[in-house]
Structure 1
Amino acid sequence: MPPQRIKWAMAGGLSCFVYFLLAYKLQRTDAWILQGSFALLFLAFLALQKAELKWILGLGILFRLVFLFSVPALSDDFYRFIWDGLLWHQGIHPFGNPPSFYMEASNAIPTLTTELYSGLNSKEYFTVYPPFHQLVFWLSTATYDGSLISAVLPMRLMLLGSEVAFLFVIAGYLKKTGRPSSLLAIYALNPLVIIEVSGNLHFEGMMALFLILSITLIADKKLFGGPLALAAAIATKLTPVIAGPVLMFAGGKKNWWKVVLVTVLGSLLFFLPLIDLTWLTGQGESLDLYFRKFEFNASFYYLLREIGFWWKGYNIIATLGPRLALSGGVLILIVSWTNWPKDRSLFQVLSIVFFIYYLAATTVHPWYVAPVVALSVYSGYKFPIVWSYTILWTYIGYTATGYEVPWWAITIEYLSVIGVFIWEVLLAQRTKNRLIALLKR
């Protein structure tokens, strides 16, 4: 076997072993063992960057299959996924009431057990998940027998199917455009993507599939399939709404209304099973809580919050959260409609748009970065790859008694990512050359 393939085989074998530990042995409170595992996975990831296409596809699928029969240990969101699915099978709208409502004796439902309830992380809050999530929840709990794996396994198989389809979509695009097939490794073998999508059952991978399809189709002037794919992305996660201002003109300035019309009608069609007064109330409550109460791994919000504590004497998230979101929205519109910085590709502009959105957010979980990693395959930007590693440092904060914010880790995370972003996106090539020359002296 050629030395290069021996290296790939060793990196693949090491990765399989570490993924097995993450899937079946480790807990998220094993902070430093987790960080050592993440570091090993990223070293192996770097060693596989120049692998052949068949190796990338084979290992990408194999790494995901390692998690097949595991129950997520690094995230407890799947408990809510099962909970919502079971409500559908009872003919109950999951947006109707928070879980605590069903723990009252008069509202009890046999399948919604206290064991399942104890695993929930938002017992007093309404659900937040859009229709494609809910469809997967419903399908996954069709044969639920009270064991977690009976719902987790079908859910994971559906997400795995969307991931495998996405890998072939990326491979097809690279072949069509004549770009190196090894670029597929950026997404296919990225540890964060594998851990958070296949391991922890988050739907960012499915959303990224629809988002990338919408970009490529709209750019090819396919003004029905492209906007419909964008509507599907929004029906998977609400976040792709921020891509709308960029994509509405991507099919030509005269066709913007077609993109908007099909996206709106497609979204209405996909959301139709949810839409009623119950959904409006529950979704509104969830969004309000997201902007006014939830906080995790933020950047500028944390800085401004500290100023608020000094100035007001209390946490000003209730007003700061919406204002940051509004400021981020305005900046996104400016970048989207002026294509600033100039001479960027569609994928690069959208990478910038998503980055702005997350910098303005009060909550940035690790799995949020997966779609930005997918965009980096097309954009050529490296800052999402850097972020896909540094954001995993947030797992340091999990302890047996709760979550303690690892301030030093978050500080280094954002300084690193913002530094690479400034270098890649904001600095002109002339300035970069001067800085490189200075460093060489």
Structure 2
Amino acid sequence: MTRAGLGPVAGPGLRQDGSVRITVVSLLLAAIAALTGFGVANLDLFAPGRDTVPLLFSLAVVWLLFAAAVIALRGVRGRAVVVLILAGSIGIGAAAMIGPPNTSTDSARYAWDGIVANAGVSPYAYVPSDPRLDSLRPDWLFPAPQIGADGSARCVGERIQTVHRDGPDEVLCSALNRTSVPTIYPPAAELYFAGVRMVTGPGPAYWPLQLTGLLLSVGTTVMLLFGMRRRGIDLRRAALWAWCPLVASEAVTNSHVDLLGVVFTLAAVFLVTRERYWRGGIALGAAIATKLIPVIAAPALLRRQGWKVIVAAVVTFLVLYVPYVLTTGIGVLGYLPGYLTEEGYQDGTRFALVSLVAPGGAGVYVVAILLAGVAALTLWKTDPAQPWLGQLLMIGSTLIILSPRYPWYALLLVPFVALSGRWEWLVVPIALSIRMLVPSVQLTRVTLAVAVILIVAMAFRRAGPGAAERLLRWRPFRGRPPGRSA
């Protein structure tokens, strides 16, 4: 490494500057871990009369610290980059395990589905409140109701809901958020849930999935580092995943299965770019069979030998579904149709920005046209050797157009932010996090509009003069030259 005429070995001033930057990054990472742990232990959405202001403030501060750490990392060179990225990934992720889930109870359903599957029962066969499953219920998921002075039963606990079964007098206390509906999760996710519970048994509460989430998130960091090194991409970009507050919160604390879909999707990308099309298709099929959402990562992988990727993905998807179809039939669809209706996707009420110009049912058609257009553009313009920029466009645009109220859907976006170095797309998960904490349509429209403006502005800034004219000519999407930093 040389600088301004220095020889191969940097002088004392440069070494001192590097040490200072390493110290600054280390302190910032420690602050992120400390604030993450404090938030998990003390702030949640389940307390009676909850106040979301502390959560919003904590969210803002941790994202600012994250941004400062990523900027400070630009001045670090050599092996220290990898050490800091891995240490931050492990340390922040471990801090995210300090307490139980604080913004979602989905992992309670994951645990229950795994317990049911390990008992030899299809998780699609019965709703969790079904009396035929009473012998399987652990106390931490289904605590006994408390009997009041008047003899009535009531459920107590921040994450505990009351479910009335055959009548108002038969009360079931449940930590699950939809105890009376079938599971919604595809078969690869169900195998994952069963695998975790096969190791730990039904007794431990939330930490087994949190630990698994930590291992998968750190594994994703390692995968990114290896993939970036092989392709000559600046390793410092991996910090955009490794230290991202969304990853700590939604992959570890709340243990969302979307992370497993990220792992398979990223594996598919690296396999396809190495011309392992069949293997890449298998990984993509497993990703789609985990949460369905990774299907939007597919168009960018189809420019070269796309038929192999499609065939392998479809076969893998079907093979994973067949055992459940044979035992449960159409029940494998679970709560998916009901979920789409509940979330407002069938009548268009969920689309925050699209509903401004196409309210109601018309929004569904506008969204379909927009998504088809983005997919076509991605397929047309993506460089098959560097598909991550096309995937960034496809995944990020889908999140903006659909505007889900759950930020963990944006986990799929983050590794492609890292690979492409387009940090501005991280405003999308920030906007979705705000939407979850403050369910205001007007605020959601403002935050998503800000995200769109920033993304478009940065795209033209990166493209330089004449960007509009070049966009109309065929040229594949390309990332920065590999040696440049994020």
Alpha-carbon offset, residue 262 of structure 1? 1.5
Distance 1:308 1:181 in 2: 43
Matched, 1:25 2:42: yes
What runs of 5+ residues in structure 1 fail to find an aligned partner? 310-315, 398-404, 434-441
CA deviations on 1:279-324 (whole Å, 9 max, x unpaired) are: 53341x533223332149x997235657888xxxxxx4xx467545
Residue aligning to 1:416:
450
The letter for the 2-side match of 1:32 is V
Pairing partner for 1:294 from 343, 347, 350: 343
In the TM superposition, what is the alpha-carbon distance from 1:338 to its structure 2 partner?
2.3
1: CA distance between counterparts of 2:431 and 2:402? Answer: 17
Aligned-partner residue type, residue 6 of structure 1: T
TM-score (normalised: structure 1): 0.82
User: 2:420 is matched with which residue?
Assistant: 379
CA contact (8 A) 1:96 1:279 kept: no
Of 108, 115, 120, 1:79 maps to 108
Question: For structure 2, which runs of at least 5 residues remain unmatched after alignment?
Answer: 1-15, 74-80, 144-159, 161-172, 469-486
1:116-265 to 2 correspondences below 5 Å: 117-142=173-198, 150-249=204-303, 252=304, 255-265=305-315
Aligned to 1:330: 372
| Alignment-mate amino acid for residue 182 of structure 1 | R
Contact 1:214 1:230 in 2 (8 A): yes
Show the counterpart of 1:402: none
The CA deviation string for residues 51-77 of structure 1, in whole angstroms up to 9 with x for no partner, is 322112111111111233531122111
Picking from 3, 21, 27, the partner of 1:4 is 21
**CA drift at 1:263:** 1.5
Query: For the residues of structure 1 that align with 2:85 and 2:354, how far apart are their CA atoms?
Result: 43
Q: Which amino acid aligns with 1:118?
A: S
CA deviation after TM superposition for structure 1 residue 421, in Å: 2.5
Q: What letter matches 1:234 in structure 2?
A: I
**1:198 Cα shift?**
0.9
User: Is residue 146 of structure 2 the alignment partner of residue 90 of structure 1?
Assistant: no
Q: What is the aligned-residue identity percentage?
A: 20
RMSD value, Cα: 3.1
Give the paired residue count: 406
Change (3 A) 1:367 1:10: same
Contact 1:94/1:127 (8 A) holds in 2: yes
In 1, Cα distance between the equivalents of 2:421 and 2:201? 46
Q: In structure 1, what is the equivalent of residue 157 of structure 2?
A: none
Q: Which residue of 1 aligns with 2:330?
A: 280
**For the structure 1 residues 40 and 329, does the alpha-carbon distance in structure 2 shift closer, same or farther, using more than 3 Å as the test?**
closer
Provide closer, same or farther for how the CA distance between residues 379 and 262 of structure 1 changes in structure 2, counting only shifts above 3 A. same
Asked whether the equivalents of residues 246 and 408 of structure 2 are also in contact (C-alpha less than 8 Å), the reply is yes
Question: Does the 8 A contact of 2:108 with 2:206 survive in 1?
Answer: no
Supply the distance in 2 between the matched residues of 1:8 and 1:106 (Cα, whole angstroms): 54
Structure-2 change in CA distance of 1:290 and 1:326 (3 Å): farther
Question: Does the aligned pair in 2 maintain the 1:7–1:47 contact within 8 Å?
Answer: no
SS in 2 for 1:417: helix
Q: Does the residue aligned with 1:93 lie in a helix, a strand or coil?
A: coil
Equivalent residues of 2:107, 2:209 under 8 A apart: no
Shift in Å, 1:352? 1.4
Q: Aligned match of 1:47 in 53, 68, 73?
A: 68
Q: Greater helix share, 1 or 2?
A: 1
Aligned position for 1:400: none
> Which residue number corresponds to residue 406 of structure 1?
440
Q: Judging changes above 3 Å, is the alpha-carbon distance between structure 1 residues 304 and 422 closer, same or farther for their aligned structure 2 residues?
A: closer
- The aligned residue for residue 137 of structure 2 is 111
Q: Is 1:429 aligned with 2:483? A: no
Question: Which one-letter code corresponds to 1:338 in the other structure?
Answer: W
Alignment-mate amino acid for residue 52 of structure 2: A
Cα distance change on mapping 1:304 and 1:216 into 2, 3 Å: closer
CA drift of 1:419 comes to 0.9
Tell me how far apart the structure 2 counterparts of residues 343 and 258 of structure 1 sit (CA, whole Å): 14
* Equivalent of 1:16 in 28, 33, 55: 33
List aligned pairs for 1:347-362, cutoff 5 A: 347-361=388-402
